[in-house]
Structure 1
Amino acid sequence: TRKLLDWAVVCSSAINEIVAAYDDHLSLELNQSKKHIGQRKIAEQMRAHLKDSKLTRKREHHLYKEVTEVSFFEDKVQEYYSIRCIPQILGPVLDTLNTTEKILVEE
């Protein structure tokens, strides 16, 4: 089961690269603002997978280089919801695995 979760993290990281996602939804600051340990760990694992990626983007480097007036955005401003929420989706799975393992070991 852990292998399946590990594969989900690796594949989710790859999807972030494929769609050239901004990396701010995985940021330490954002994910530390919540008390969900699993969410924090999944975001940390994804940051580790993507640390040397040339395909993910930093929002501050891409969108905010210069201030210009535009009537519409040419690029998406926010990642797809299903991509942004990966730590919140896989985090409870990790929490459940850890809790189950702890109970089994104790019993």
Structure 2
Amino acid sequence: MLKRAFIQLACCIGVFGCCLCSYVNTQNAVTRLRLEIPILSSELNKLKEQNNRLKYEIDLFESPEHLMQLARCSEFSHLKYPTLQEVFTVSETVILPKSPLEKEKSLPTLKWNLAIGAKQ
């Protein structure tokens, strides 16, 4: 009888020890993640700042004043805006499959403007 009670007590202590170890490991993992949050947050803030700086540089580069300066440069002198005679418009009609309840309808025509080439 005493032997059986000792075995039951040992099993209970063993299960309790396993549960305690599992709980401590879970808490360690949570603590590790909590320590990583400020590091990742600062990296995210740095990336947001860099993104804003790059957006500002893109806006400066695409500003009309800068584009006009580039147009005056000799390396871009061959580029020009196409005239109306050089623009070709392609019309396209989209037709959806007909259902028995709908009457035949054609959708509005789509237009695509294409520049057909630059003269040198």
TM (norm. structure 2) is 0.25
Greater relative contact order (CA < 8 Å, ≥ 6 in sequence): 1
Greater strand share, structure number:
2
- The structure with more radius of gyration: 2
